[in-house]
Amino acid sequence: MNLEGKIVLVTGANGGVGSALIKALLDKGAAKVYAAARTIAAVKELVQFNAERIKALRLDITSAASVATVAEQCADVNLLINNAGINRCESLLGLAGMEAAREEMEVNFFGTLAMCRAFAPILEANGSGTIVNVCSIIGLVNLPVNGTYCASKAAGHSLLQGMRAELAPRGIRVVGVYPGPVDTKMTAGQEMPKATPDQIASAILEGLELDAEDIFPDPMSQGVQEQLEKNAKQVEKQFAAMIPA
């Protein structure tokens, strides 16, 4: 894919990866990037980076009305990057496990599904296009201490596989991104090796330029994916052993 001249919508634009993606897209020559977040104020500073090419959007992907409004406003999009997501850092049996699971599914699965459904006709009308769904490497293997989030991202992985099959005949590509830990607000306070948002954004765009279907944008995710291909059951056991005593 040639990113030059593309018109892009990035959800979760107020987060570290979202803002890094938008700046990287401009560097690649994107003609316009819609920066979508729950409030305009959340992306005000980002828009100032390049007010001519970055357009702020108020978007709540869990609201059908909000998604419909944004779809009407962005009928020129030919690349959709579903980056918005939440992580409540709960185990499946944790005190807030049910609440966390419902909230994460609402955003990470249902919200992403709503965006795909709303923009598929737009991309097709614009002569095909691409949807990028930012999932997680722990959507491919559950890390039990973060079990509810993993389950929502596993649903997101299945979602993109289904969307890929349904949209291929309409000329729309669906690309999955599976990062490991990234140094953002979402992982604040968690002691572990983390990629930077800039590293993740750069790897995502490089993958798109190479027409990759699945992108593992950092060393941790690449290592886990290699292990999953060799022995998925062993990886499951390794992750299960990470439950604190």
The residues annotated with a catalytic role in the active site are 149
CB 106 within 8 A of CB 149: no
CB 204 within 8 A of CB 3: no
148: its two tokens: 């509810």
* Cα 152 from chain centroid (whole Å): 12
Please give the Cα distance from 107 to 81 (Å, whole number). Answer: 14
Cα-only R_g, the chain: 17
88: its two tokens: 């409540």
Please give the Cα distance from 61 to 141 (Å, whole number). Answer: 25
